[in-house]
Every structure is written in C-alpha cells, then in structure tokens.
Amino acid sequence: MIDPFGRTITYLRVSVTDRCDFRCIYCMCEDMTFLPKAELLTLEELDRMCSAFVRKGVRRLRLTGGEPLVRRNIMSLFRSLSRHLKSGALDDLTLTSNGSQLSRYAHELAGYGVTRINVSIDSLDAGKFAAITRRGRLDTVMEGLAAAKDAGLAIKINTVALKGVNDDEFHDLVAWCGDQGFDLTFIETMPMGEIDEDRTDRYLPMPVVRRRLAERWTLRDTDYKTGGPARYVDVAETGRRIGFITPLTHNFCESCNRVRLTCTGTLYMCLGQDDAADLRAPLRASESDHLLDAAIDEAIARKPKGHDFIIDRDHNRPAVARHMSVTGG
Ligand code: SAM
Ligand code: SF4
C-alpha cells in the first residue's frame, strides 16, 4: 500500500473498543456516551479486517482503544492474529493499555507472541493518579506491570505532559523507569474530542519538557526510530530511552506509515483529519474480501499529507470532534 505522497503503509492501529474503565481528564469527559454494542465489529470481523491489511503489506499491528483489555474475550483476537506472526507475515503484534487488566492477561499475551507493550501512567502518586484517571488505582496498574515484566514483555510507559498536574514528576518518572528497565515517552495533549476542561491550560510543549529534563539528566540525541512519531534521546545516567511525541508540530507527517481502524470498521487515514472510509459495509457485503480490498485501496489513495492540529488561546476547540479513545492513541 503506497499513498499519493509515496509513503508505504505498514502499520495499522486498531481501536477494538471505545469503552474504558478509566476516564482520564485529557481524554474523556466524566460522563461519556459510548457506542451501542450492536455497532461494533465482532472479534471475527476485526480479525478479517486486520488480516486483509496484513495481506496488503501491514507488518505491525497495535490493538488499542478505549482500553483494549476490557473488551470481552479479547484474548481470542490476539490468539487468532498470532497466526500471522507464526507465518512471518507480521513482524509485531502489540497493544497500548492502561494496565488495569494486565495482571490477568500479561502471560497469555506473551504466549500469543506479544513481546512489548505500551502502558500509560501519568503520575506515580496514588492520589494524583486517581484524580487524573478519575477511576484508576495505581497499585493495580503496578501489579499489572510486575506481571508483564514477569512474562518477559518489554515495557514502554506513555505519559501525557500536563501543566500544573504532573510536571513536578518528570524527574521521578525518568528515575523510576530507569530502575524498572522501562522506556518512557512523553506526549503533548492533542485537541481531540470535548473534555470537561480547557486543554490550553494543560498544554505543555515538548521542547519545554526536554529542557526541564536536561537540567538533571544527560540527554543524548539518537537516530533510534520505531516508525512512530516520537523523537528519542538516551539518558546517560539510566541507560534507558526517552521519546518525545509532538503531534502539534508537523515533523512526523512526512514519514507517516500508519492508518487507524475503529471498532466500527471506520478507517481514519490521519489522526488529525476527519476524512474516513467505511470498511464495515464492504466487509459485510461479501464473504470474499474483494470489496474490502478495493475499499482499502481507495482509502489509502486519499491519505492526506498531514494534520491541522493547533492548540492556543484562539484555537481552544477540538481540532477533530472524536475522542482519542475512538481512534486509539
Ligand atoms: N486506554 C489505553 C491507554 O490509556 O493507554 C489505550 C488508549 S489511549 C487513547 C492511548 C494513548 O493516548 C494513551 O497513552 C493516552 O494517554 C493518550 N491520549 C488520550 N487522549 C489524549 C489526548 N487528547 N492527547 C494526547 N494523548 C492522549
Ligand atoms: Fe481510557 Fe486510555 Fe483514555 Fe485513559 S487515556 S480514558 S485509559 S482510553
């Protein structure tokens, strides 16, 4: 799959549910309306979708959400998708999770060929963690991380940088990740979906985060790339990596290799644009995949050059109406 700008699409992220057991302040409102269950693709349909993309050249597959591990019977999807790892068609099957269910599933995931996971933690302070997630418990997530380590999974922590909320903890997070053997990525808040507060108040640009970290840690630029939007540095003192994701700058659009599928079968060709393609209708219209394949080709041919995110006082409305939990992080 090659888009009009010559970018080869090799990475598919799939939001397997828009539901979540947390309500993180920057991601959702307290009172979310979720999709009716009847709208969702079944797990078998999600497998068929993913397999069509793998056949067309996707090498990396990430399941996300919402919280992927709260979808009922989600392990059966990991189990079925693991056949593409075994056949060599897929290089990487992974997930992004809030960690709340990891102690239950970590070993099973490893058994299906998952080797690394991303887990989101925005604070190491139990009270603050509860306030940010509105429903989460830090100790449960910590137990999940211990299980994941025990299962041999490599772990990357995602932290959304929030001015006035967790910006006093960045050094602690770097030190803790160093001790635990985790990589760490800081993310800027993105203007996606209505939340209960004004995002401009929390927005902290990555150059500021990096400058603050450099006051205490020796950061060395690296050319390490995961095919994702993060820029990485090595931390001399801990020997671990830190990534910085700056979605509001355009520095990653030109190398964008990914598309995103929602749990209703809508394909978003760009995280920051509203244009999307319905793949559910062609999937359901025929038992063979020829309609689906044609719809995927047509969608890739429309992948836009880049996004239009802006966060400042003049642009404090969401750039796209959907929440991040619809398309996944
Ligand atoms: N529930 C899982 C989790 O929290 O990791 C997976 C889905 S979550 C939408 C994926 C990532 O997106 C998380 O790291 C989360 O912190 C981040 N995220 C959610 N809303 C965001 C926003 N508006 N701006 C920046 N990052 C956001
Ligand atoms: Fe749930 Fe993840 Fe959004 Fe938090 S960031 S509300 S854990 S989907």
Q: Which tens digit of pLDDT belongs to each residue from 207-222?
A: 999 999 999 999 999 9
- Decide if 210 is inside a domain: yes
Mention every residue, 6+ apart, whose C-beta is less than 8 A from residue 240. 174, 177, 178, 181, 182, 183, 184, 234
Rounded Cα gap, residues 96 and 116, in angstroms: 10
- Asked if residues 179 and 237 have their Cβ atoms less than 8 Å apart, the reply is no
273 Cβ below 6 A of ligand 2:
no
Q: What local confidence, expressed as pLDDT, does residue 114 receive?
A: 98
- Decide if 5 is inside a domain: no
Of 112-121, 189-198, 315-324, least confident by mean pLDDT is: 315-324
248 Cβ below 6 A of ligand 1:
no
Rounded Cα gap, residues 210 and 221, in angstroms: 11
282 CA → ligand 1 middle, Å: 29
- Is the pLDDT at 317 greater than 70? The verdict is no
- Is the pLDDT at 50 greater than 70? The verdict is yes
- Is the pLDDT at 295 greater than 90? The verdict is yes
| Helices H / strands E in the chain, number of each | 10, 12
Confidence grade of residue 51 (pLDDT, cut at 50, 70, 90): very high
The residue nearest atom 12 of ligand 1, judged by CA position, is 329
Confidence grade of residue 264 (pLDDT, cut at 50, 70, 90): very high
Give the residue numbers spanning the domain of 129. Answer: 11-327
Mention every residue, 6+ apart, whose C-beta is less than 8 A from residue 227. 10, 11, 60, 255, 257, 258
Q: How many domains does the chain have?
A: 1
- Decide if 67 is inside a domain: yes
Rounded Cα gap, residues 44 and 50, in angstroms: 10
In the block, tokens 């995002």 appear at 199
- Decide if 1 is inside a domain: no
CB atoms near residue 142 (< 10 Å): 18
Predicted TM-score (pTM) of the model is 0.93
Mutate to test the pocket of ligand 2, among 26, 98, 165 (most ligand atoms within 8 A of CB): 98
* DSSP symbols for 250-295: STTGGG--EEEE-TTSEEES-TT---EEE-HHHHHH-SSSHHHHHH
Confidence grade of residue 315 (pLDDT, cut at 50, 70, 90): low
99 CA → ligand 2 middle, Å: 10
Going by the DSSP 8-state scheme, the letter that residue 2 receives in this structure is: B
The residue nearest atom 8 of ligand 2, judged by CA position, is 66
- Decide if 6 is inside a domain: no
Average pLDDT over residues 164-186: 97
Average pLDDT over residues 241-267: 85
Mention every residue, 6+ apart, whose C-beta is less than 8 A from residue 17. 40, 65, 66, 67, 68, 70, 71, 263
262 Cβ below 6 A of ligand 1:
no
- Is the pLDDT at 311 greater than 60? The verdict is no
- Is the pLDDT at 316 greater than 60? The verdict is no
182 Cβ below 6 A of ligand 2:
no
CATH number, domain at 294? 3.20.20.70
- Decide if 3 is inside a domain: no
- Decide if 287 is inside a domain: yes
Confidence grade of residue 200 (pLDDT, cut at 50, 70, 90): confident
27 CA → ligand 2 middle, Å: 6
Which atom number of ligand 2 is nearest to the Cα of residue 96? 2
Rounded Cα gap, residues 328 and 14, in angstroms: 7
Of 40-44, 130-134, 173-177, 321-325, least confident by mean pLDDT is: 321-325
Confidence grade of residue 320 (pLDDT, cut at 50, 70, 90): low
- Give the residue from 67, 135, 64 showing the smallest Cα distance to 94: 64
In percent, the amount of the chain with pLDDT more than 90 equals: 78
